Structure 1
């Protein structure tokens, strides 16, 4: 693999790590500029809705974040330089997450007018849902790429991430109680952020693996 390509793969991995950490920080910082906003009770989408004082800033950031994940997704495929359909699928899942939860959520705001969901809200929900499904499926394909024989710890970690992802997104989306103030519904923001934290830790782990692999390849090429 050429040195220039190796460098781009490492850059993509570093961008992904920085983006995951930055997104969490930006969400918490911007939440402080929205009076009455609760990180535990309110969704991230409501922070970017038109009524929010930080709407445009967060929407712009999500678009940028989406492009970073798409950039990483394309170079992810090049990092695993062998013909494996699971690599291609995992690459597209990362790209879909960037398109849905990143660019799509940034361009289409979750606005409610006169108590009704707007078309923008429906599109926001749809593209965000596509991104969430992509995030949930990623560990199932990654465990086939980084095989059990090569890394049993990562295999177990992938199953844990998938399980935690399913539980948190279920808590976020399913209404267990019809009561408006039930704990499950009251802390939707918490479940959403736990899902995001779980996925970002996994993406960072993948990025570190890719970065270290490329460093070893670069070192091996330099010794030739």
Structure 2
């Protein structure tokens, strides 16, 4: 990685950190403009549905986030080893997250008509699910990109993020159950945000490591 590539990597890493922090803030701020919306019981997708008063704003924001993560994945590959198998896979997973959970979720709204899912809702859900699955798998390859010997803290963090990701994703997925009285289902918004918080902490950690990468001579 030459000096020019290093500068791009540093800039992208800073952008990623800003986006991760800003996304949480924007979700809570925009949620206040949706009467009756709850951060604990409502999913983030409902903020972007057509009936939401902040639908267009949040959709554009998700698309912007997706672009940032796609670019971040591209720069990540350059910052580490372009030819290493695990770096390629990790880079692809980051970009897939940006494409699915970011751009896909922003372009296709989670709309329902008469309580039934629209085709846009289905595509939104599929795109988001692919993005979330990519994010869930990311630590399994990142701990090979950055070994335990290189960074023991990050190696341990990768496993913590992976296990926490599985637990929160399972809790969030249970929302499809028919038992509407379940407290687990009731707090679906909480599980989704805990999954996102867990993931963003991980992305920030990756960004910090990427920021401190040095030129190869």
TM-score interval w.r.t. the shorter chain?
over 0.9
The 5-angstrom pairing of residues 185-196 of structure 1 reads: 185-196=185-196
Which residue number in structure 2 is paired with residue 19 of structure 1? 19
Moved over 4 A (4+): 175-178
Which residue number in structure 1 is paired with residue 147 of structure 2? 147
**SS in structure 2 of the partner of residue 41 of structure 1:** coil
**SS in structure 2 of the partner of residue 157 of structure 1:** helix
- The gaps in structure 1 that reach 5 residues or longer are none
Q: Is the 2:105–2:124 Cα contact (8 Å) retained in structure 1? A: yes
Compute the RMSD of aligned alpha carbons.
1.4
Displacement of 1:213: 1.7
The alpha-carbon distance between structure 1 residues 176 and 23, as it changes in their structure 2 partners (threshold 3 A), is: closer
Q: Deviation per CA, 1:26-56: give whole Å up to 9, x if none.
A: 0000000000000000000001100000000
Mean Cα displacement is larger for which, 177-186 or 193-202? 177-186
Displacement of 1:82: 5.1
Q: Is the 1:143–1:155 Cα contact (8 Å) retained in structure 2? A: yes
1: CA distance, partners of 2:152 / 2:91: 22
The alpha-carbon distance between structure 1 residues 23 and 176, as it changes in their structure 2 partners (threshold 3 A), is: closer
1: CA distance, partners of 2:137 / 2:73: 14
Displacement of 1:175: 5.0
Displacement of 1:212: 1.2
Q: Is the 1:100–1:129 Cα contact (8 Å) retained in structure 2? A: yes
Displacement of 1:96: 0.2
**SS in structure 1 of the partner of residue 213 of structure 2:** helix
The 5-angstrom pairing of residues 117-156 of structure 1 reads: 117-156=117-156
**SS in structure 2 of the partner of residue 35 of structure 1:** coil
Displacement of 1:78: 0.4
- Are 1:87 and 2:87 an aligned pair? yes
Which residue number in structure 2 is paired with residue 5 of structure 1? 5
Q: Which has the larger radius of gyration?
A: 1
Displacement of 1:179: 3.1
Displacement of 1:133: 0.5
Q: Is the 1:176–1:184 Cα contact (8 Å) retained in structure 2? A: no
TM-score, normalised by the number of residues in structure 2: 0.96
1: CA distance, partners of 2:58 / 2:177: 31
Which residue number in structure 1 is paired with residue 197 of structure 2? 197
The 5-angstrom pairing of residues 29-40 of structure 1 reads: 29-40=29-40
- The gaps in structure 2 that reach 5 residues or longer are none
Q: Is the 1:45–1:110 Cα contact (8 Å) retained in structure 2? A: yes
**SS in structure 2 of the partner of residue 87 of structure 1:** helix
